[in-house]
Amino acid sequence: MTLPATDSLPADQPLTTTQQLQLLLSQVIVGQHQPCSLHEIAAATDLSVQTLAKLVNGQTRDPRLDTLRRLCQFYGISLDYFAGETTAACQAYLNQQRLITAPEVVQEIAHQTQHLSQRSQDNLHIILQWLEANQSVFT
């Protein structure tokens, strides 16, 4: 099953829980080259593919806390992610979490680029994500 595209979500418009989940499940896990499939997530979280499909398709509007905890554990984040009300806030949270576990050189680059505009920081982050996902190409 293909996840709905999240790049068309307006940055400042409030998100539903379904949209937050779609954004989360579209993330690339460290060491992967693309987002995990629902089957991979289901196997790792002990959730059913059906449950995940209902979540990302909006058929389940209020997921159980245990379900959210399992997904957060899988993605290495806390439930604080769901406090983000917009795409920008959720993406900023994910970027910050990714930065915490990033190699020291990436952390230094992020620190040195704090004076850049938000758009420039976002663009640089996209480049770093691409490099991280394609690191095997360079080694």
pLDDT bucket at 53, cuts 50 / 70 / 90: very high
Residue 7, pLDDT above cutoff 70: no
> What Cα–Cα distance (Å) separates residue 48 from each residue in 8, 45, 81, 130?
27, 9, 22, 30
Helix (H, G, I), strand (E, B) or coil at 86: strand
Q: Which residue has the higher pLDDT, 109 or 59?
A: 59
Question: If pLDDT is split at 50, 70 and 90, which confidence band does 129 have?
Answer: confident
Helix/strand number for the chain, H first, E second: 8, 0
Give me the mean pLDDT over the 75-93 stretch: 92
Question: What is the band of 46 on the pLDDT scale with cuts at 50, 70, 90?
Answer: very high
